[in-house]
């Protein structure tokens, strides 16, 4: 072989080579159990590769994503404002639809003000990283969503994890810490994988003597909990004890985007300090209109939430009857714990083969040993849909 000087000089550990060596990437180039191509969709009925499937894992809890009022509002906003904001609000200005949505959201959540951003991920990241800084201490439930972890990392603050939904573990950590150090507590209202509700009353009581800044990501509680769907904080009557409620508009609100709600001071501070809003384009007209209309519907059509809870109770009753492990889910986010990734894959595949669309979640997305199939109930499911899901699951659990 002729001598090639390039082979000697060429670095052996580049980022590109790391990507090329990654075994998971190599395998997923051949077959990827995530990122399916959905050809068409009508509520919880979807077409995948020409097959009609039942969607059992979307977060369209209230089923509003194809509600005629939401669609009409999106179309009108597109006509009136065009397709995009093409820039950040700090630079290019806020449109009236931004302020309308924010004022309505703030009032709905019982807070003085709110800010909307183009993604829930950005909102939750910003809700942490804008307020916490180097030298502070963040105490975080160890099961929180990736967006909050990103905010924690970006803040540069020190971090202590406490056991999931465990106020006494939080207290054990707090009592050993320097009282004068600024502290933030970060939790979710409803945990997206587990379906657990945070024990906000107990957590807040534990924090009271320590003056912690309290942040709740309620992406999965908004629209679902509370007599008007106002979310976990309102449902547990803790609106005045929580400094910041953040979350996503991509679940019950049938849009995309995120929000942060708090006092006037907190939101004003955010406007001029949050990189996620200063350097990122504002939520688009159609997204804002869809979210605002969903908020209206939440208030004047309670039947969607009622139907969601009827479905949830019916589904869980059947799952309990077949002995499925649902990790004590308390909400429409219902995991089926299967214990390891091979089982998760085989059960998921058996469901797919029977035209039921779910999603696998394995560590690090969930704690070790909690490999699961994530399912979520929607107001659009019929009892027959849920019966079919449980029937196929029962067969799959037996087979695997």
Positions in the binding site for ligand PMP (CB under 6 A):
119-121, 124, 145, 147, 188, 192, 217, 219-220, 248, 250, 256, 258
CA 269 to chain centroid: 24
Cβ at position 125, least distance to ligand PMP in Å: 9
d(CA 97, CA 81): 9
Closer Cβ to ligand PMP, 54 or 219, answer by number: 219
Omega before 364 within 30 of 0, i.e. cis: yes
Shortest Cβ 285–ligand PMP spacing (Å): 17
How many CA atoms within 13 Å lie on the side-chain side of 76? 12
User: Measuring CA to CA, which residue among 395, 304, 385 is closest to residue 44?
Assistant: 385
> Please, what sign has the CA dihedral across residues 262, 267, 273, 274?
positive
- List Cβ neighbours of 148 (8 Å cut-off, separation of 6 or more): 124, 125, 127, 128, 140, 186, 188, 215, 217
Choice between 191 and 213, CB closer to ligand PMP: 191
Burial 306-332 (b: 16+ CB within 10 A, else e): ebbeebbebbbebbeeeebebbebbbb
Pairing of strands 244-248, 183-188: unpaired
Smaller CB distance to ligand PMP: residue 190 or 336?
190
For 275-301, give one letter per residue: b (16+ CB within 10 A) or e: ebbeebbbbbbbbbbbbbbbbebbeee
Residue nearest ligand PMP by beta-carbon distance: 120
Minimum distance, C-beta of residue 128 to ligand PMP, in the bound complex (Å): 11
Number of helices and strands (H, E) in the chain? Answer: 17, 14
> Which C-beta is closer to ligand PMP: that of 124 or that of 297?
124
Task: Find the shortest distance in angstroms from Cβ 256 to ligand PMP.
Answer: 6
Q: 147 vs 155, which CB is nearer to ligand PMP?
A: 147
Alpha carbons 295 and 100: distance in angstroms, whole number: 11
CB of 191 vs ligand PMP, minimal distance in Å: 7
Please say which residue, 106 or 117, places its beta carbon nearer to ligand PMP: 117
Shortest Cβ 363–ligand PMP spacing (Å): 17
Smaller CB separation from ligand PMP, 117 or 174: 117
In whole angstroms, the minimum distance from the beta carbon of 16 to ligand PMP comes to 28
Q: What angle (nearest 5°) sits at the alpha carbon of residue 164, between those of residues 162 and 170?
A: 35
- Judged by beta carbon, residue 53 or residue 122, the one nearer ligand PMP is 122
Shortest reach from residue 146's CB to ligand PMP, in Å:
8
């Amino acid at each position: 072989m002729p001598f090639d000087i390039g082979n000697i000089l060429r670095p052996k550990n580049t980022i590109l080579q790391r990507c090329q060596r990654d075994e998971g990437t190599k395998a997923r180039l051949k077959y990827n159990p995530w990122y399916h191509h959905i050809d068409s969709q009508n509520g919880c009925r979807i077409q995948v590769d020409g097959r009609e499937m039942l969607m059992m894992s979307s977060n369209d809890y209230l089923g509003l994503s194809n509600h005629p009022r939401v669609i009409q509002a999106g179309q009108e906003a597109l006509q009136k404002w065009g397709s995009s904001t093409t820039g950040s609000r700090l630079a290019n200005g806020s449109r009236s639809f931004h302020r309308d949505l924010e004022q309505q959201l703030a009032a709905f959540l019982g807070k003085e003000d709110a800010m909307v951003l183009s993604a829930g991920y950005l909102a939750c990241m910003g809700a942490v990283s804008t307020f916490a800084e180097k030298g502070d201490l963040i105490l975080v439930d160890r099961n929180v969503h990736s967006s909050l972890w990103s905010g924690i990392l970006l803040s540069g603050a020190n971090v202590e994890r406490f056991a999931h939904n465990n106020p006494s573990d939080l207290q054990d950590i707090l009592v050993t810490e320097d009282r004068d150090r600024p502290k933030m507590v970060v939790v979710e209202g409803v945990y997206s994988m587990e379906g657990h509700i945070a024990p906000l009353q107990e957590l807040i009581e534990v924090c009271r003597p320590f003056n912690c800044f309290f942040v709740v990501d309620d992406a999965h509680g908004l629209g679902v909990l509370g007599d008007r769907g106002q979310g976990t904080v309102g449902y547990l009557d803790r609106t005045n004890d929580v400094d910041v409620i953040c979350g996503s508009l991509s679940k019950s609100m049938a849009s995309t985007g995120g929000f942060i709600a708090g006092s006037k001071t907190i939101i004003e501070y955010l406007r001029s300090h949050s990189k996620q809003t200063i350097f990122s384009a504002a939520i688009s007209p159609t997204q804002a209109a869809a979210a605002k209309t969903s908020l209206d519907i939440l208030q004047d059509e309670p039947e969607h939430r009622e139907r969601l809870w009827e479905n949830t109770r019916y589904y869980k009753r059947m799952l309990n009857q077949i002995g499925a492990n649902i990790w004590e889910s308390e909400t429409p986010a219902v995991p089926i714990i299967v214990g390891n990734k091979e089982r998760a894959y085989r059960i998921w595949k058996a469901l797919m083969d029977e035209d039921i669309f779910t999603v696998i979640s394995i560590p690090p997305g969930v704690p070790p040993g909690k490999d699961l199939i994530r399912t979520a109930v929607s107001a659009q499911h019929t009892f027959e849909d849920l019966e079919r899901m449980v029937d196929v699951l029962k067969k799959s659990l037996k087979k695997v």
